Amino acid sequence: MTALADASLPSALPAPRPQWLLVAMIVLTVGYAALFCFALLAALVSPMVFDSGESTKTWSAFFAFLFFPVLVLLALALAWSGFGFRRYLLIPIGVALPIAYCLVFWFAFS
């Protein structure tokens, strides 16, 4: 084979993942697992927002508390799939989803 033919062959092994990224993903998973536990507790007691009466704000708060655990799981799945498929741009998007959701919730109800 010539050097040109060797250059056109795909490499057998992909480039290794950065070790710090794996550590960051494990820390993210542990942190979001704790956040999921608190979010699940908030979702379980979310019907209590109707104790003060029904309004648009109480329905919004109810659905915000109800869907937050789902969003945390979606964020973890997105971040780990980005890590697994070497699409590293998905990791900060997955990290930012619950943070952005909390900020929107905070400013909408304050």
pLDDT tens per residue across span 51-108: 988 988 888 889 999 999 999 999 999 999 999 999 999 999 999 999 999 999 888 8
Q: Which of 7-11, 24-28, 29-33, 56-60 has the lowest mean pLDDT?
A: 7-11
Phi, psi of 15 (to 5 degrees): -65, 145
Residues 6 or more apart from 55 whose CB is under 8 A from it?
none
Give the pLDDT confidence score for residue 13 in this predicted structure. 74
